[in-house]
Structure 1
Amino acid sequence: MPKSVEDYLDFLLKEKGKNVVIRGIQAKAIITDVNEKISYYDDKMIRTDMEIHTGERIDYQTDQWIVISEIDKNKNSYKARIRKMNYTIKMVVDEVLCEFISIIEGISFGIDEGKFMNFEAGKIQVTIPADSVSNKIDVDMRFIKMDKAWKVVGVDKSRLGIVILHCEKDLFGSYDDRINEIANTNLIAIWEIQINEENCQVALNKEFTFTATVMKNSTEYQGAILVWESSDENIAVVNDGVITGVAIGSVEISVHIQDKPTVKTNIQIEVVESIPDVITYKMWSSYTDGSGKSYTDFSVRYGSSKWFGVEKYVNGVLADVNDTYSFSLNPNGTPSSNYIYTVINSYKVKLEGEGYGYSVILSATSNESGEILTQSIQLKSLF
């Protein structure tokens, strides 16, 4: 009985296989051209012993390709049709500017072999891999490509793994950035995740707590759900910012907003045998009824007052016993009639805004360690 390709797969992958990257993993694959009488795109067939899925991105020969067909699974291999992704488009999704590598088609063959799409002028089809972000793209969202504005008029998610957008040419608007190909710039919010601790070491079998602050348009945002991840849980695990050292080595800890996965920050952590306690301090502010506590908003509006104080942290965890502090206020050129400054106790002070358009500088010196914290406080108007 003649042997099939499956019988020689290991040999072929070793001797004739090309280097590809699938889900970030180096792999070998047999890549062959698709033999068609009519072909607008450089489609290829891929056969590999690594499981692949429709919509999967394949890195091959410095380009990115997408699996556009169903998967032909045999006993030892997976076979599918791939197509080179030819454009990157930018769209605003959930107030975040996102980039999608895609296939853009006009009057051409579609991703189905032999199916001709006779698009009239001003219509295109965009195929992108399906993920948690691209699945949020909806009708009326817009992008700019080929010096034209396009509006999504239909979204096809019937094929698992890919999202197909039917788009029509649209008029440019006043918030469209044609040079940078960004539509609806007015919908973009500037999101950032700040890690407040500078420590980059965690002791073996010990915990260290990192605090992440979400900023939206330079203002602290309280409503975000954060997701923490470790690049190697054999070295360190993380749960809501609490990192535990498991083994000696380096690991990357990342944190992103749950419904905005592209808003992300990373920190490199080293797990070491042992380290002395890391003592840090944070200045905070709150309204005088104790509400609205913040570690980033240092301002007082005209006619209102706030408390300002300092907290002590040991290895990123709020200390059981706080230090006492000596406070001083530098007017920074602000007339004394614009504020009222009162030391409440050894942990906090009170500042009342009697004017606006100025700033003062608050200093706090730990009576135990001698460390000095300084913070500029803005005196703002009501509006």
Structure 2
Amino acid sequence: MLGNVKGYLNDNIDNNIDFLLYEVGINIKVNEIDKRAIIIDATEKINELDEKIIITNFQINQGDLIFYNNMNWLILSEIDVSKNTYRGRITKCNFDVKFPIPISYKNANSEVEDYKYNYTVPIIATRSAFNVTTNQYFSLADGEAYFTVKSDSFTKWKGYSDFISLGTEIVKFGYAFKFEGIDQTKKGLITYHGKVSETSTQLMDMANESTFFSKKYELNINFIDNLEMGSTIKPSVQILADNVDITGKVPVYYTSLTPDTISIGTDGTITPISTGTAKIKVFSQGVVKYLEFNVKAINYSINILNKTDNVGVNYTYILDVGCYKDGVKETNPIITYSSSDPNVATIGNDGTIKGIKQGIVTITANYNGMSDSMNISIIAINTINITNKINALKVGESYNLAIACTSNNIVDTNPVLTYTISDPNVLTVINGTIKAIGAGTATVVVAYKDKIDSITITATAIVYAISIGNKPTTTMYIGDTLQLSINCTIDGVADTNPVITYVSSDINVLTVSNTGLITYNSAGSATVTTIYNGVSDSTTISVKSIPLITTYSFKTIILDNVVMTNDAVILDKGTTKTIKVTEIRKLVTQGATTITDEIISNPTVAYSLDNANVTIDSNGLIKGVAAGTSIISIAYQDIVKQISIVVNDALTITGKTSVVLNRSTTYTSNMNVNWTIANEPVNGVTESIVYATITAYTDTTVTIKTTSKWIFDDGHNRYFNIVATSKDGSKTTTNKVRITPY
């Protein structure tokens, strides 16, 4: 139930305060902090000032500012304290007053910047005072008033450097009042005695009840919605004066409105105390802003993820610890570790456990008030390890065990070992040396104190193999030799230095040296056997007498009676050349022995052609038929000689064979040429008269004109020669032309 509590409540309130607060209490604010209280009328009689009784289950003080029923009230009375309750008389504030607060700031240029503002507070204003001598109220003279306010850092008078002091002027009721008296006899309250000022020196703003025209101040605050327990935060406050940033030039005041939830320092640093909703008040330059946020509890947890039962003496074990904040694993948590008995086991700051001596110990990990622990036994640990285990040996081979032993993590350099063999017919062991003595599989167990290690080995016989890599596949001849190529392997691996024995079944037919060189002595057949570590390979060889072999070769070939030095012939189309074999060598040998070596002169050979670019007759006459390349094959017995024939086009001149005096005619060539012309001598004498001249020419044509002079007085015929020479100078041809008179 909300609202005023009517009537009289007896002393049962003290015994039932919590119940009554729940049933009939009212939500109020005490010094801006949310509270719940019982409010009842102070009297049935209506007085000049409205008064109530406040009853709480928490401490209240004279001078506290109560916000109740959307109005401000002041506790003017002393506080009555009983067993469970606090009671006081509250009086409603009937006005607000703007107190002038002078603030200035000296900048870097030593200039004073003025940032005065109005400080608005609720007051109780009266025109009467209480006389403590007569216990009666008396009225003040006209132009006087009492202003009672809550005492705070602004209103409290200390007598020096005060914001509000004697002589301070305020505006109220359309007048400027100057304070001429200050009463601080009531704890938490201060009463100013003001008189209307006739000679005010302030610039008054009567309409706004301000002592001076103030700047427009604004607060901009950057803050958060949540604050975690264990952390702190400081709001970012910006102060503007007429839109100019003056942050740092004027003070900022912070107040915690939920002191059970947070505390706040003078610099604005907020420290959480408990979880819940928190409120703060930020005040500067007469501007107030309220911030509300949540204080969250953080759920911390810790878990040793790799708990173990045992750690060996002199061994270490590194803990893997998971630390979680609100269910999220921390990447760099701060963990503290402890051991219940450091004489048994220690633990370092990094979570490394080290066994010291045998025993039981509890290891604990702590993180932000949470912990996890485990009990471990520190035990003696012996180890044995065969470090060079193998799984196979050949019969007859030996192998030395390499064994590492430790006792309590200390290497035992002289361990006492015992050996056990599962099958002594396969393996033996003496002082750590294992030897394979028979085929099969056996296990050797090595014991050291309370630990063992074992090795299982399969022993197999060695497999030798030999093969002749170059066995003869044809008949061999007396006097020849053959170096055998032998491949020997041990278990499939080549033996690079084998010991081999060679045996010939008939040394009259062939013999074999100790390096495998066979010499064929006489006709017949014999077997060669190669022996290597009890295995062998053999080959049977037939030997015959060396046969007579006749070979022929071309010795001398002539071309137009000139000995040829290469196998190529060049001729022009339409021309001929004669090729002839004049000598062939006949050689008869038996093995490396020459029986006869003779020359056959002018042998009869056969000619053949690969195409029709040339022709050749039985006497070797070659004629160029068409430009191109041909191959002439010359055959004798079982040998053939090939000659390359290249046929080139012949240089020709086409035109008239006779020309009339003083006439022109044109001649052509079948290739690019240079042209010349000359008189044909008469009776061996070349006349001085030029019979014909060249009047025009190209690389393949020439135009000539005969002389107009009469050149036939002696009755002889007259001729001139047209000469064409190929551009490369390799060919020349001449046409003889007759000059006629008609």
TM-score by length of 2: 0.30
Change (3 A) 1:179 1:255: closer
The answer as to 2:193 corresponding to 1:184 is no
Write out aligned runs for 1:1-383 (5 A): 5-23=13-31, 24-34=33-43, 39-94=47-102, 95-107=116-128, 114-135=135-156, 136-171=163-198, 175-185=203-213, 188=214, 218=244, 220=246, 224=250, 262=286
Question: How far is 1:118 from its partner?
Answer: 2.6
Change (3 A) 1:121 1:216: same
Question: How far is 1:120 from its partner?
Answer: 1.0
Which residue is 1:293 aligned to?
none
Cα distance in 1 for partners of 2:81, 2:274 equals 39
Question: For structure 2, which runs of at least 5 residues remain unmatched after alignment?
Answer: 1-9, 103-115, 157-162, 297-325, 329-742
Change (3 A) 1:175 1:210: same
Question: How far is 1:145 from its partner?
Answer: 1.1
Which range moves more in the overlay, 209-218 or 13-22? Answer: 209-218
Answer yes or no: is the 8 Å Cα contact 2:238–2:245 preserved in 1.
no
Q: Secondary structure at the match of 2:211?
A: coil
Cα distance in 1 for partners of 2:167, 2:43 equals 36
Question: How far is 1:170 from its partner?
Answer: 1.3
Change (3 A) 1:211 1:30: closer
Answer yes or no: is the 8 Å Cα contact 1:18–1:31 preserved in 2.
no
Answer yes or no: is the 8 Å Cα contact 2:42–2:89 preserved in 1.
no
Change (3 A) 1:247 1:161: closer
Answer yes or no: is the 8 Å Cα contact 1:54–1:68 preserved in 2.
yes
Change (3 A) 1:88 1:237: closer
Cα distance in 1 for partners of 2:16, 2:266 equals 46
Cα distance in 2 for partners of 1:3, 1:47 equals 12
Q: Secondary structure at the match of 1:134?
A: coil
Change (3 A) 1:147 1:110: farther
Question: For structure 1, which runs of at least 5 residues remain unmatched after alignment?
Answer: 275-383
Change (3 A) 1:239 1:263: same
Across the aligned residues of Structure 1 and Structure 2, the Cα RMSD in angstroms comes to 4.6
Letter in 1 for 2:119: C
Letter in 1 for 2:125: I
Question: How far is 1:44 from its partner?
Answer: 2.0
Change (3 A) 1:120 1:49: same
Cα distance in 1 for partners of 2:130, 2:170 equals 23
Letter in 2 for 1:163: I
Which range moves more in the overlay, 112-121 or 227-236? Answer: 227-236
Cα distance in 2 for partners of 1:11, 1:130 equals 33
Answer yes or no: is the 8 Å Cα contact 2:55–2:85 preserved in 1.
yes
Which residue is 2:584 aligned to?
none
Cα distance in 1 for partners of 2:266, 2:170 equals 37
The structure with the larger Rg is 2
Change (3 A) 1:164 1:224: same
Letter in 2 for 1:179: A
Question: How far is 1:215 from its partner?
Answer: 5.8
Cα distance in 1 for partners of 2:227, 2:13 equals 52
Question: How far is 1:184 from its partner?
Answer: 3.0
Cα distance in 1 for partners of 2:59, 2:241 equals 40
Q: What number of residue pairs does the alignment pair up?
A: 265
Letter in 1 for 2:71: D
Change (3 A) 1:39 1:113: farther
Cα distance in 2 for partners of 1:16, 1:202 equals 33
Q: Secondary structure at the match of 2:196?
A: strand
Q: What does the per-residue CA deviation read over 1:314-371, in whole Å, with 9 as the maximum and x for residues that have no partner?
A: xxxxxxxxxxxxxxxxxxxxxxxxxxxxxxxxxxxxxxxxxxxxxxxxxxxxxxxxxx
By relative contact order (CA 8 Å, sep 6+), the higher-ranking structure is 1
Answer yes or no: is the 8 Å Cα contact 1:202–1:244 preserved in 2.
no
Question: How far is 1:247 from its partner?
Answer: 11
Question: How far is 1:154 from its partner?
Answer: 1.4
Question: How far is 1:181 from its partner?
Answer: 0.8
Which residue is 2:453 aligned to?
none
Which range moves more in the overlay, 242-251 or 123-132? Answer: 242-251
Question: How far is 1:52 from its partner?
Answer: 0.6
Question: How far is 1:83 from its partner?
Answer: 0.5
Answer yes or no: is the 8 Å Cα contact 1:89–1:101 preserved in 2.
yes
Cα distance in 2 for partners of 1:141, 1:154 equals 10
Cα distance in 1 for partners of 2:35, 2:87 equals 17
Letter in 1 for 2:41: T
Change (3 A) 1:8 1:165: same
Question: How far is 1:255 from its partner?
Answer: 6.0
Change (3 A) 1:113 1:56: farther
Question: How far is 1:9 from its partner?
Answer: 3.5
Cα distance in 2 for partners of 1:211, 1:127 equals 35
Question: How far is 1:99 from its partner?
Answer: 0.2
Answer yes or no: is the 8 Å Cα contact 1:149–1:170 preserved in 2.
yes
Q: What does the per-residue CA deviation read over 1:48-90, in whole Å, with 9 as the maximum and x for residues that have no partner?
A: 2121100101122222110001111111111111110000011
Cα distance in 1 for partners of 2:40, 2:50 equals 12
Cα distance in 2 for partners of 1:246, 1:5 equals 31
Question: How far is 1:10 from its partner?
Answer: 3.9
Q: Secondary structure at the match of 1:80?
A: strand
Question: How far is 1:26 from its partner?
Answer: 2.6
Answer yes or no: is the 8 Å Cα contact 2:27–2:34 preserved in 1.
no
Cα distance in 1 for partners of 2:79, 2:274 equals 40
Answer yes or no: is the 8 Å Cα contact 1:150–1:170 preserved in 2.
yes
Question: How far is 1:14 from its partner?
Answer: 4.0
Cα distance in 1 for partners of 2:171, 2:202 equals 13
Q: What does the per-residue CA deviation read over 1:198-244, in whole Å, with 9 as the maximum and x for residues that have no partner?
A: x9689989999876566667365755566677888979999968899
Q: What does the per-residue CA deviation read over 1:93-132, in whole Å, with 9 as the maximum and x for residues that have no partner?
A: 1322110100000136689995413311111000000111
Which residue is 2:525 aligned to?
none
Letter in 1 for 2:142: A
Q: Secondary structure at the match of 2:67?
A: strand
Q: Secondary structure at the match of 2:54?
A: strand
TM-score by length of 1: 0.54
